[in-house]
Amino acid sequence: MGKRVLLVEDEPNIIEAIRFILSRDGWVVDTHSDGASAVEAVLANPPDVLVLDVMLPGKSGFDILKELRGVPATGTLPVLMLTAKGQGRDRELAERYGVNRFMTKPFANAEVLEAVNALLEGATGAA
Protein backbone atom coordinates (compact mmCIF):
# COMPACT_ATOMS: atom_id res chain seq x y z
CA MET A 1 0.00 0.00 0.00
CA GLY A 2 1.44 3.37 -1.02
CA LYS A 3 1.38 6.68 0.76
CA ARG A 4 -2.20 8.01 0.67
CA VAL A 5 -3.24 11.62 1.03
CA LEU A 6 -6.78 12.96 1.06
CA LEU A 7 -7.04 16.50 -0.28
CA VAL A 8 -10.19 18.32 0.83
CA GLU A 9 -10.24 21.38 -1.42
CA ASP A 10 -12.82 22.99 -3.72
CA GLU A 11 -10.61 25.01 -6.10
CA PRO A 12 -9.86 22.90 -9.21
CA ASN A 13 -6.54 24.63 -10.01
CA ILE A 14 -5.24 23.96 -6.49
CA ILE A 15 -6.49 20.36 -6.60
CA GLU A 16 -4.62 19.79 -9.87
CA ALA A 17 -1.40 21.45 -8.67
CA ILE A 18 -1.29 19.45 -5.44
CA ARG A 19 -2.34 16.21 -7.13
CA PHE A 20 0.46 16.66 -9.69
CA ILE A 21 3.26 17.41 -7.24
CA LEU A 22 2.29 14.64 -4.79
CA SER A 23 1.57 11.99 -7.44
CA ARG A 24 4.98 12.61 -8.96
CA ASP A 25 6.48 11.83 -5.54
CA GLY A 26 4.65 8.50 -5.28
CA TRP A 27 1.58 9.58 -3.31
CA VAL A 28 -1.88 8.24 -4.07
CA VAL A 29 -4.05 11.39 -4.03
CA ASP A 30 -7.76 11.17 -3.27
CA THR A 31 -9.76 14.38 -3.46
CA HIS A 32 -12.98 15.59 -1.89
CA SER A 33 -14.51 19.02 -2.43
CA ASP A 34 -17.54 19.17 -0.14
CA GLY A 35 -17.04 20.25 3.45
CA ALA A 36 -20.39 18.84 4.56
CA SER A 37 -19.38 15.24 3.79
CA ALA A 38 -15.62 15.50 4.32
CA VAL A 39 -15.62 13.81 7.73
CA GLU A 40 -17.47 10.81 6.29
CA ALA A 41 -14.94 10.65 3.42
CA VAL A 42 -12.04 10.58 5.88
CA LEU A 43 -13.66 7.95 8.10
CA ALA A 44 -14.66 5.74 5.17
CA ASN A 45 -11.07 5.44 3.95
CA PRO A 46 -8.61 7.07 6.39
CA PRO A 47 -5.58 8.53 4.58
CA ASP A 48 -1.99 8.66 5.85
CA VAL A 49 -2.14 12.48 5.69
CA LEU A 50 -5.04 14.91 5.30
CA VAL A 51 -4.65 18.20 3.43
CA LEU A 52 -7.57 20.38 4.43
CA ASP A 53 -8.69 23.75 3.08
CA VAL A 54 -10.31 26.22 5.48
CA MET A 55 -12.93 27.68 3.14
CA LEU A 56 -15.17 24.86 1.89
CA PRO A 57 -18.81 24.61 0.84
CA GLY A 58 -21.03 23.09 3.52
CA LYS A 59 -18.62 23.08 6.47
CA SER A 60 -15.38 24.90 7.28
CA GLY A 61 -12.04 23.17 7.57
CA PHE A 62 -11.97 24.22 11.23
CA ASP A 63 -15.23 22.38 11.94
CA ILE A 64 -14.01 19.32 10.03
CA LEU A 65 -10.73 19.29 11.97
CA LYS A 66 -12.50 19.71 15.31
CA GLU A 67 -14.84 16.82 14.46
CA LEU A 68 -12.01 14.52 13.31
CA ARG A 69 -9.99 15.17 16.48
CA GLY A 70 -12.98 13.98 18.52
CA VAL A 71 -13.03 10.56 16.81
CA PRO A 72 -10.53 7.96 18.10
CA ALA A 73 -9.77 6.61 14.61
CA THR A 74 -8.68 10.06 13.35
CA GLY A 75 -7.55 11.70 16.58
CA THR A 76 -3.89 11.54 15.57
CA LEU A 77 -4.29 11.82 11.78
CA PRO A 78 -1.62 14.23 10.45
CA VAL A 79 -3.35 17.34 9.06
CA LEU A 80 -1.96 20.11 6.87
CA MET A 81 -4.39 23.03 6.72
CA LEU A 82 -4.47 25.46 3.80
CA THR A 83 -5.95 28.93 4.03
CA ALA A 84 -6.15 31.93 1.74
CA LYS A 85 -6.40 34.24 4.72
CA GLY A 86 -3.25 33.63 6.71
CA GLN A 87 -4.62 35.68 9.59
CA GLY A 88 -3.22 35.03 13.02
CA ARG A 89 -6.70 34.21 14.30
CA ASP A 90 -7.06 31.41 11.74
CA ARG A 91 -3.74 29.93 12.77
CA GLU A 92 -4.66 30.10 16.47
CA LEU A 93 -8.00 28.40 15.83
CA ALA A 94 -6.37 25.67 13.73
CA GLU A 95 -3.78 25.04 16.44
CA ARG A 96 -6.46 24.92 19.13
CA TYR A 97 -8.27 22.23 17.12
CA GLY A 98 -5.09 20.19 16.71
CA VAL A 99 -3.67 20.98 13.27
CA ASN A 100 -0.15 19.65 12.61
CA ARG A 101 0.93 22.15 9.93
CA PHE A 102 -0.57 25.34 8.58
CA MET A 103 0.13 26.89 5.17
CA THR A 104 -1.17 30.04 3.53
CA LYS A 105 -2.09 30.37 -0.15
CA PRO A 106 -0.44 31.02 -2.48
CA PHE A 107 2.19 28.43 -1.63
CA ALA A 108 5.06 26.84 -3.51
CA ASN A 109 4.38 23.27 -4.64
CA ALA A 110 7.67 22.20 -3.07
CA GLU A 111 6.45 23.53 0.30
CA VAL A 112 3.33 21.34 0.14
CA LEU A 113 5.38 18.27 -0.80
CA GLU A 114 7.87 18.91 2.00
CA ALA A 115 5.08 19.43 4.56
CA VAL A 116 3.14 16.30 3.56
CA ASN A 117 6.28 14.14 3.62
CA ALA A 118 7.30 15.58 7.01
CA LEU A 119 3.83 14.83 8.40
CA LEU A 120 4.04 11.23 7.19
CA GLU A 121 7.51 10.80 8.71
CA GLY A 122 6.29 12.26 12.00
CA ALA A 123 3.29 9.93 12.01
CA THR A 124 5.26 6.78 11.23
CA GLY A 125 8.33 7.71 13.21
CA ALA A 126 10.45 7.18 10.09
CA ALA A 127 13.34 9.56 9.50
pLDDT score of 3: 95
Query: Which has the higher per-residue pLDDT, 115 or 2?
Result: 115
pLDDT score of 126: 57
Instruction: State the average pLDDT over residues 59-79.
Output: 96
Query: Angle between the 12-24 and 109-124 helix axes, to the nearest 10 degrees?
Result: 60
- Read off the pLDDT of residues 15-54 as tens digits, 9 standing for 90 and up: 999 999 999 999 999 999 999 999 999 999 999 999 999 9
How many residues comprise the chain?
Answer: 127
Q: Which of 94, 105, 92, 98 is nearest to 75 (CA)?
A: 98
Three-state SS for 38? helix
Q: Domains of the chain: which residue ranges? A: 3-124
- Read off the pLDDT of residues 76-92 as tens digits, 9 standing for 90 and up: 999 999 988 667 888 89
pLDDT bracket for residue 127 (50, 70, 90): very low
Instruction: State the average pLDDT over residues 90-96.
Output: 91
Q: Which of the four CATH numbers 3.40.50.2300, 3.40.50.360, 2.40.10.480, 2.120.10.30 does domain 3-124 have?
A: 3.40.50.2300
Contacts by residues 81-87 (CB-CB < 8 Å, ≥ 24 positions apart):
81/52, 81/53, 81/54, 82/9, 82/14, 82/51, 82/52, 82/53, 82/54, 82/107, 83/53, 83/54, 83/55, 84/54, 84/55, 85/54
